[in-house]
Structure 1
Amino acid sequence: MSHPAPYPARLADEITRQLGQLADHLAQLPPPQAAHVIARVLDPDTGVLGGITHLVATGSLFAKDQAERGALPAEVWLALGRASNELGDIALDLDEHKHALQHASTQPSTTTAARPAPAPLVVRRHR
Structure 2
Amino acid sequence: MSHSVPYPVRLADEIARHLGLLTDHLAQLPPHEAVQVIAHVLDPDDGLLNGVTGLMSVSSTFAKTQAERGALPAEVWLALGRATNDLDAIGADLDEHRATLRRVGAQPTATAAKPPPAPLVIRRHR
Whether the aligned pair in 2 keeps the contact of 1:53 and 1:84 (CA below 8 Å) is: yes
Q: Which residue number in structure 2 is paired with residue 82 of structure 1?
A: 82
Work out the CA distance in 1 between the residues paired with 2:98 and 2:118. Answer: 18
Q: CA RMSD in A?
A: 1.8
Work out the CA distance in 1 between the residues paired with 2:19 and 2:119. Answer: 30
User: In the TM superposition, what are the counterparts of 1:9-88 in structure 2 within 5 Å?
Assistant: 9-88=9-88
Residue-by-residue CA offset, 1:53-82 (whole Å, 9 max, x unaligned): 000000000000000001111111011001
Matched, 1:121 2:117: no
Change in 2 beyond 3 A, CA 1:74/1:55:
same
Spell out structure 1 runs of 4+ moving beyond 6 A. none
Shift of 1:18: 0.4
Residue-by-residue CA offset, 1:18-60 (whole Å, 9 max, x unaligned): 0111111112222121111100111232100000000000000
Q: Give the TM-score of the pair, scaled to structure 1.
A: 0.88
Whether the aligned pair in 2 keeps the contact of 1:33 and 1:105 (CA below 8 Å) is: yes
Aligned length: 123
Secondary structure of 1:97's aligned partner: helix
Work out the percentage of aligned pairs sharing the same amino acid.
66
- Structure 2: gaps spanning 5 or more residues: none
Q: Which residue number in structure 1 is paired with residue 95 of structure 2?
A: 95
Aligned residue identity for 1:126: H
- Structure 1: gaps spanning 5 or more residues: none
Shift of 1:113: 6.8
Q: Give the TM-score of the pair, scaled to structure 2.
A: 0.88
Shift of 1:121: 2.4
Shift of 1:106: 2.2
